[in-house]
């Protein structure tokens, strides 16, 4: 539940920004969807992209799909927290809704690459939790990209070519989880989220609560 007010409960906390990144095909979208369906306290940041829509994707759920002119307009109008070019397409995190949700104590989940992670971290360090998902091997990564059946052989080759460069950014993350099996990986991400939610610095009303306990 997202808390709308701080009047009725001393132990509310600020929302956090959970970033999931990985080389393409390692499984972050799979983990993200599972988390969103099982945890009502976290909502997705829906990115804007110039990439063509894949079969099965839904406008406003997976992405907001726009043309290059509209993306450029949004950049000019400062409507993104961060944006980057990934695999030749533009992707950006729109500001709309995110700030309000965090203020109300709701968490936000970001499926973005390492460039976006660095930009968000520079803007909101204390609120950001960075998780990097690795495939168990490069062979398995190729199998997943092929098995997904959404990309041409050319696109898959480009994603495989870029995988090692992306993996080289692993040390820019707070946590690294190997996605060997979906359930095991999901459990680890959920445990990270549970612990991060309990951090002393996120519990905005804790200082008053402790004062109450120690008074007199
Ligand atoms: N642990 C796993 N074992 C086997 N297959 C998996 C596992 N995790 C995900 N997959 C499958 O691998 C494929 C790629 O997963 P997914 O689309 O979640 O990757 P992604 O990291 O979000 O990729 P992209 O960055 O391109 O969006 C999907 O078909 C998914 O079902
Ligand atoms: N910096 C950003 N990266 C983003 C954003 N939205 C998605 N992404 C990353 O792009 C690649 C490719 O995604 P795909 O859906 O086309 O396969 C992947 O690494 C995403 O994490 C964003 O807003 N900013």
Q: Is the ipTM of this complex over 0.90?
A: yes
12: pLDDT strictly greater than 90: no
- Tens digit of each residue's pLDDT (9 = 90 or more) over 65-75: 999 999 999 99
Any idea how long the chain is?
Answer: 216
- Tens digit of each residue's pLDDT (9 = 90 or more) over 37-67: 999 999 999 999 999 998 889 999 999 999 9
- How many distinct helices (H) and strands (E) make up the chain? 8, 9
Of the candidates 5, 31, 19, 11, which has an alpha carbon nearest to the alpha carbon of residue 182? 31
Q: What is the largest CA-CA distance in the chain?
A: 71
Instruction: Give the three-state DSSP class for 64.
Output: strand
**Any atom of ligand 2 within 6 Å of the Cβ of 46:** no
Nearest-angstrom CA–CA distance, 83 and 48 = 9
Q: Whose CA is nearest to atom 4 of ligand 2?
A: 112
Determine whether the annotation assigns residue 92 to a binding site.
Answer: no
- Closest ligand 2 atom to residue 22 Cα is 19
Determine whether the annotation assigns residue 23 to a binding site.
Answer: yes
Nearest ligand (C-alpha, residue 65): 2
Q: Whose CA is nearest to atom 15 of ligand 1?
A: 27
**Which stretches does DSSP call E strand in the chain?**
17-21, 42-44, 48-49, 64-65, 80-86, 89-94, 107-111, 128-134, 175-178
């Amino acid at each position: 539940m997202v808390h709308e007010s701080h009047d009725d409960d001393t132990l509310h906390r600020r929302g956090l920004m959970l970033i999931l990144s990985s080389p393409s095909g390692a499984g972050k979208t799979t983990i993200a969807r599972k988390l969103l369906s099982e945890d009502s306290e976290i909502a997705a940041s829906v990115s804007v992209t110039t990439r063509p829509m894949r079969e099965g994707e839904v406008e406003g759920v997976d992405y907001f799909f726009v043309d290059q002119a509209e993306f450029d307009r949004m950049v000019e109008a400062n409507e993104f927290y961060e944006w980057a070019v990934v695999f030749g397409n533009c992707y950006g995190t729109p500001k709309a809704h995110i700030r309000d949700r965090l203020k109300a104590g709701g968490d936000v989940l970001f499926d973005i690459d390492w460039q976006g992670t660095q930009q968000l971290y520079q803007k909101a360090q204390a609120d950001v939790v960075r998780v990097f998902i690795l495939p168990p091997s490069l062979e398995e990564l190729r199998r997943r990209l092929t098995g997904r059946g959404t990309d041409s052989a050319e696109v898959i080759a480009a994603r495989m070519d870029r995988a090692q460069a992306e993996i080289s950014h692993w040390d820019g993350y707070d946590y690294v989880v190997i996605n060997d099996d979906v359930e095991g990986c999901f459990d680890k991400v959920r445990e990270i989220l549970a612990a991060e939610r309990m951090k002393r610095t996120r519990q905005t009303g804790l200082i008053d609560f402790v004062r109450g306990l120690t008074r007199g």
